[in-house]
Chains A and B, each alone.
Chain A
């Protein structure tokens, strides 16, 4: 079966001056590859779960937790921390792997995903998992909770920011648009919603099933500061969050074009890998590919 993951996160997070990048792009790529390995490890061990959308958002997860957000793994309930709501809760393996690599809990525990007695439930559970700010899983509900958190900061005069990640299929849910309408109407500018536009949902292409396009124009009409990026390009991700912070009086939506299953060749752009675990053989291949990518990035540093 699968090889053991290193227990301790060996990434060195440089403490540097405020406002300057904590990691360069190469370091982010290395971290994101480790996050991807954790996703494959967890889903393979669970024999079920959602690798496709976890992998498409792995670069975003990495950027948020290693670069963007003000969080402390040692103090996951810090009232002043930035909040993250994984509205597309089925991609919990992506969040868990990121939290583990960031030091919220042991990377080794990723292998307990979805198992009886594990604190890593099939979908995020804030009462069980350190670092999870909101329980989610039923699509369409997370953005509303994120709006509530952002509103609480406004009411209290707190400076923390709130981030939410949705799927592109998920925005077929009506409640999402209730939340978008409210956030836009009230100008909740401490909220950034990221939409993972990997183009696929369970039944196929999102535009074949029930097209949500044009996502950017719709959000613009809902009074969002709308930014379209390549969700695998760290320069663009960095730039988008900088613009989100600068924007006053409007919430920001980052619509990121991504590849579902990114990083594992046979999963890429395949709707079938939305919610399926790799076999032992497929697992070996995925880990080999990710290890090769990791070695390549590490050689480049």
Chain B
């Protein structure tokens, strides 16, 4: 596969914000003492007056963002997913979601690829939490290209956004001229006839790897990148479910309530078909290097391949 460029999507988030800062004077960025880790420090350097460090007080940061947005600002609230969605769930629901304010939540360090920090910091529940909030757009970008596109789209689209970024570097897979990011529109990365793998975030590249291994076994697996969990792309999900009649979902998130559940919500109602949800099975994360954890949790290409093989 040659030299694959790898970039962490938190890095993409920071770079996109710095770019956005030039274009849109209303963009402000908030941090809770994690600007170095959320990669917003680039924005902070370029626009010190528009970067607000709230200290280690995520709930207050979320409320401040809500207030700023009522006065025409476009605040990007940055923290780890565990705090941005977990600790802050109720602030996001009541101070941002209920009044449908134009606040963008940039949640970095999601999932087990946080690595060594371990379970306390590895949020595996944020997609589930955020997608239950009425009017919340939930995006889980798969790589650098998509992450940046998501940030730009969020700034241009009125209403609350939750964007989930990762700590670990992931392969750039969308760097091609045909790639187009549209909120709520899935990206078909590989066609197939025997099954479809719906994936999001860091698991998209791994799912492509798994599909390659399946191909070597003579199994034709389609791979569809569901970058927007909400509003979900019903049409593409139904199209590929009907085409293949066997659905797998893969995500670096609990299998309870995440992207897989969102896909099941669509299929249960419109086209009942067998679905296997691959993800983290009702357990907490662990300390260790990100790559080793992906292997341990069977979310790397080989793990996904093995899990699929065991089910067919």
Contacts and interface: CB of A to CB of B under 8 A. Distances in A.
Contacts of B61: 144
A127 B75 CA distance: 19
Nearest to A142: B63
Contacts, number: 111
B158 to A, nearest CB: 13
A1 to B, nearest CB: 32
A140 B57 CA distance: 13
A147 B55 CA distance: 14
B68 interface: yes
Nearest to B52: A151
Interface string A167-202: 000000011001101100100000000000000000
A155 B28 contact: yes
Nearest to B99: A135
A179 B63 CA distance: 9
Contacts of A79: 71-72
Interface string A144-180: 1111111111011000000000000000001100110
Nearest to A127: B99
Nearest to B54: A182
A126 interface: yes
For the residues of A in contact with B, the DSSP-based class is helix
B71 A175 contact: no
A131 B50 CA distance: 28
Most chain B Cβ neighbours within 10 Å, of A79, A85, A175? A175
B72 A152 contact: yes
Contacts of A126: 70, 99
B100 interface: yes
A147 B91 contact: no
Given A135-B98, A137-B94, A141-B91, A156 B66 contact: no
Given A144-B66, A149-B67, A149-B70, A135 B59 contact: no
Contacts of B98: 125, 135
A144 B99 CA distance: 15
Contacts of A179: 60, 63-64
Interface in A208-235: none
B3 interface: no
A35 B60 CA distance: 32
A133 interface: yes
Given A145-B63, A178-B60, A135 B94 contact: yes
A156 B59 CA distance: 24
B63 A138 contact: no
Interface residues of B, number: 30
A152 B71 contact: yes
A56 B99 CA distance: 27
B68 A181 contact: no
A134 interface: yes
A125 B75 CA distance: 21
A125 B64 contact: no
Contact of B68 (A137, A138, A148): A148
A143 B63 CA distance: 8
B90 interface: yes
Contacts of A175: 57, 59-60, 63, 91
A141 B94 contact: yes
Given A127-B99, A137-B94, A144-B59, A151 B64 contact: yes
Given A138-B90, A141-B94, A175-B91, A146 B67 contact: yes
13 contacts: A79-B72, A135-B98, A143-B63, A144-B61, A147-B67, A148-B64, A148-B71, A150-B67, A151-B52, A155-B49, A178-B59, A179-B60, A182-B57
B40 interface: no
A141 B58 CA distance: 12
B64 A182 contact: yes
Given A141-B63, A182-B60, A149 B94 contact: no
B90 A155 contact: no
B62 interface: yes
A188 to B, nearest CB: 10
Given A135-B98, A155-B28, A155-B49, 14 more contacts: A127-B99, A134-B95, A137-B94, A140-B59, A141-B63, A141-B91, A142-B63, A144-B59, A144-B91, A152-B71, A152-B73, A179-B64, A182-B55, A182-B60
A113 to B, nearest CB: 18
A155 B75 CA distance: 12
B149 to A, nearest CB: 27
A168 to B, nearest CB: 20
B244 to A, nearest CB: 42
A125 B99 contact: yes
A138 B73 CA distance: 23
Nearest to B93: A138
B139 interface: no
Most chain A Cβ neighbours within 10 Å, of B50, B67, B72? B67
B223 interface: no
A134 B101 CA distance: 10
Most chain A Cβ neighbours within 10 Å, of B49, B64, B68? B64
A106 to B, nearest CB: 23
A133 B59 contact: no
B42 to A, nearest CB: 20
9 pairs of A and B residues whose beta carbons are closest in the complex: A148-B67, A144-B63, A152-B71, A178-B60, A178-B57, A145-B67, A148-B64, A135-B99, A148-B68
